[in-house]
Chain A
Amino acid sequence: MWAFIHKFGSPKWFYGISARLLPWCWSLAVMLILVGSVWGLAFAPADYQQGDSFRIIYVHVPAAFLAQSIFVSMAVAALVFMVWKIKVADMAAAVMAPLGATMTFVALFTGSVWGMPTWGTWWIWDARLTSMLILLFLYVGVIALRGAFTSRDSGARAASVLSMVGVINIPVIKYSVDWWYTLHQPASFSITSRPSMPVEMWWPLLLMVLGFYAFFIAITLMRTRNEILRREAGKHWVRELAAGGA
């Protein structure tokens, strides 16, 4: 277990193994998202209340899931970095933050656009939209804090502490915002409970969620590799790699 963790921590090893994993992740992501999109956009039946505007769910919900999961992954990576001093974990955390912020923005934008045909207004202080907005601020804080330090190591450790503090706070924020605004749609999708949506609407959503997760893994691997190149640019193996291939 521990040996595995430290092997995982070697940037060189990670660079090699991620190169082999990437094609699988990408094909999985592209396949799931393509099938999910076509199914969700063209084949799923229209909602009996919302009509075709409900098809926004197929990008809104996966983006919202991802926005929250990325913060948790970032905090886990931060914990691994702080406990075992594994640099790759921090590189992953560093590249996850902008992606998470992007996904949060996508979830906010699609939620807002969905609000227009559903509620007749671009923005409603709905519990989930509000939590999402707060999450965006948390992401911006983590990114800004990392950037504010001149020393990369200090910035990394400060961002790690903030991610961990943030992830402890996210459930508290979520529940307090839910309590604050109790008048909202019940969560439309959950992996554990039985679907309240018709099955033919639910399947494409599942595919899209899985596809988004595969996309997240793939893009994180890709950008972590870039981060390795950036930080290890002076190392022998990176120079040989750059001189040899590509």
Chain B
Amino acid sequence: MSRTDAESVRGVEPVEPLGGLGVAMAATLKRDLTLAARRRSDIMNPLAFFALVITLFPLGISPQPALLATIAPGLLWVAALLATLLSLEALFRADYEDGSLEQLLLAPQPLPALVLGKVCVHWLMTGLPLALMAPLLGLLLALPAESYLVLSLSLALGSISLSLIGAIGAALTVGLSRGGVLLSLLVLPLNIPVLIFGTGAVQAAIIGDPVGPHLAILGALCCAALMMAPFAIAASLRISING
């Protein structure tokens, strides 16, 4: 933040807004990445949760590989969805409590772009690790071998949408003292299309159907979320801070 402030104070060049935006986004990314690197447990917890939930299903249902393999795509996706949800509450919480969120709102750069940076870091710290870890858990669930790549791809692509949509809910509930359950209530219904097409991609890969259409729809959902969600997140943050 200090760097952006210095830039804007010194900023005499006429292209200040454009250059300022790039610098501010880079600063937001760098700051959040540094913070995330210092709080490793925030990265590890969703992964541990993901693994734990997947462990519960064979215990709760049946250890038979044939049965597990049929429900594995859905289980992996639902568990990844819940793990993302779990990490969302912390997305703006620390910044809200130490006041740096207000600084972000006061910045001269457009807020949607800055929150996009924050969501990007969130995806790098939860969505991407979950996608990379999923094949390992797929192995535990006897997921057919030909679907591992698609599982990772669909999770990586889908979790961008999950992070973006979830950030709206996180922004709406950040000012509330007990926002956790409410956050799930707001975000889960909106995530259903991503879940449907994500699971669909993995199932298509298992039965040997083309996976392109599913991944294309996931990509379309991701693009739509990228276009619209930052504005909704920014508006929600303003409501939560100023209200």
Contacts and interface: CB of A to CB of B under 8 A. Distances in A.
* Direct touch of chains A and B (CB < 8 A): yes
A45 to B, nearest CB: 39
B185 A161 contact: no
A49 to B, nearest CB: 30
B236 A176 contact: no
A157 B85 CA distance: 23
A137 B240 contact: no
B179 A168 contact: no
A142 to B, nearest CB: 9
Given A149-B175, A158-B240, 20 more contacts: A137-B189, A138-B190, A140-B185, A141-B182, A144-B186, A145-B172, A145-B173, A145-B182, A145-B186, A149-B176, A149-B243, A154-B240, A158-B239, A161-B236, A164-B232, A173-B190, A173-B193, A177-B196, A179-B200, A180-B196
Interface in A149-163: 149, 151, 153-154, 157-158, 161-162
Residues of B contacting A: mostly: helix
A242 interface: no
Nearest to A131: B192
Contact of A166 (B179, B190, B240, B243): B190
A141 B185 contact: yes
Interface residues of A, number: 28
Interface string A167-183: 01100110111011000
Contacts of B242: 154
B189 A173 contact: yes
B196 A158 contact: no
Point out which of A151, A165, A176 has the most chain B C-beta atoms below 10 A from its C-beta. A165
A134 interface: yes
B182 A176 contact: no
Nearest to B197: A176
Contacts of A5: none
A138 B189 contact: yes
Contact of B173 (A148, A166, A176): A148
A144 B185 contact: yes
Contacts, number: 77
Interface in B192-243: 192-193, 196-197, 200, 221, 224, 228, 232, 235-236, 239-240, 242-243
A169 B225 CA distance: 10
Contacts of A137: 185, 188-189
Interface of B: 168, 172-173, 175-176, 179, 182, 185-186, 188-190, 192-193, 196-197, 200, 221, 224, 228, 232, 235-236, 239-240, 242-243
B221 to A, nearest CB: 7
Contact of B200 (A148, A164, A175, A180): A180
Contacts of B182: 141, 144-145, 148
A141 B192 CA distance: 15
A47 to B, nearest CB: 32
Nearest to A142: B186
A134 B196 contact: no
A168 B236 CA distance: 16
Contacts of B173: 145, 148
A162 B185 contact: no
A63 B187 CA distance: 25
Nearest to A154: B243
Contacts of A140: 185
